[in-house]
Amino acid sequence: MAQQLFFVGSYTSAEQEGISAMLLDTETGAISRLSGLAGVLNPSFLRVNKAGTHLYVVSETGAEPGSVLSYALTGDTGGLTSINDASTLGGSPCHVELHPSERLLVATNYTGGNFCLYAIGEDGSVELADHIVHSGRGPRDDRQEAPHPHSATVDPAGRYVLVADLGTDEVVSYRIDQEAKKLVKQGATAAAPGAGPRHMAFHPQQPILYVINELDCTVAVYSYEAEQSQLTLKQVISTLTESFTDATTCADIHVTADGRFLYASNRGHDSIAVYRVDAGGTLELVQFAPSGGQTPRNFAISPDGEYLVAANQESSNIVTYRIDQATGELQPTGYSIETNKPVCIAFVK
């Protein structure tokens, strides 16, 4: 039986086991729990390095400054050993991104309008290197009264980091000075007013960036000019059925490793929208797959490309789907596992 290790982050108190190690059976799609780690308040977003030796976690603490924490993986059993932690200098850190060199890391704070760059030591420890604060706002008083950086994504060449700011309706680009370990603003691309850019994904082969907009429930497709990190809008496509009018927001977005399909999650509609990627990088809707629970905040594609694993926050369950390799459609495996408010899936590759 082939099994794939992954970690789950959740919204839990520090007394609860907020980080869980689980196994995906890659023959059936069944999930089993290996172990759990307590001691971290709201470990809401996780990243594992390419070698599968270190795990990086943000502690989403609300208005108070949060933390980014570094752990060493102990073998293939899901065990974690704490290395160190560092302040994010802002509240509600909600995302963490590794540079391809795995010597730099970016943690994004939803509250306070700021994000931080960290140097990663040989032992996997994190040390604050730079701190950027955004300004401005968007048209919505309830969600865009101030900057709200929601994620950072490093471009494929490792030269720029792009920050999706939900509050200001912008994707802001920064040149990475790797020697000085600093970020230099390069430019900004405006989204539609009230769109609320949240998460991003680069196409694995084409110079295309996909941005999921939380507030207006769309995916924006941009061509990416890598030399100057410039975005040009190609397409905007809805994540919802035309008949759906209830409250809903978007959350996560991923592209398959072969670049043929894209997936986007809806919270409220409680679905995963499935798209086919055409030769020019634009999208064609294929399917709306029910998420198997409530509020699919995050999901991940297994390293072999065969499964999609969805974390349903409000129903406290994780559900698996087999990906139809011909159409991209999601086929429920019938397997799920209960765990307290899961909000992030991170596979160990």
Rounded Cα distance, 163 and 176, in Å? 13
pLDDT reading at 75 higher than 80: no
Q: Identify residue 94 by its one-letter amino acid code.
A: C
* Mean pLDDT, all residues of the chain: 97
Kindly list the domain boundaries of the chain, sorted by start residue. 1-39+239-349
- The 10s digit of each residue's pLDDT in 217-242 is 999 999 999 999 999 999 999 999 99
pLDDT reading at 99 higher than 70: yes
Q: What is the mean pLDDT of residues 38-61?
A: 97
Instruction: For residue 211, give the nearest of 259, 166, 179 by alpha carbon.
Output: 166
CA distances 61 to 12, 80, 120, 299, Å, are 11, 21, 22, 22
pLDDT computed for residue 121 by the predictor? 98
pLDDT computed for residue 341 by the predictor? 98
pLDDT reading at 216 higher than 80: yes
SS3 state at 237: strand
- The 10s digit of each residue's pLDDT in 316-348 is 999 999 999 999 999 999 999 999 999 999 999
CATH class, domain 1-39+239-349, is: mainly beta
pLDDT reading at 70 higher than 60: yes
Band (309; pLDDT cuts 50, 70, 90): very high
pLDDT computed for residue 1 by the predictor? 57
CA distances 211 to 16, 188, 234, 250, Å, are 33, 14, 12, 11
pLDDT computed for residue 325 by the predictor? 98
Handedness of CA 311, 315, 320, 324 (dihedral sign): negative
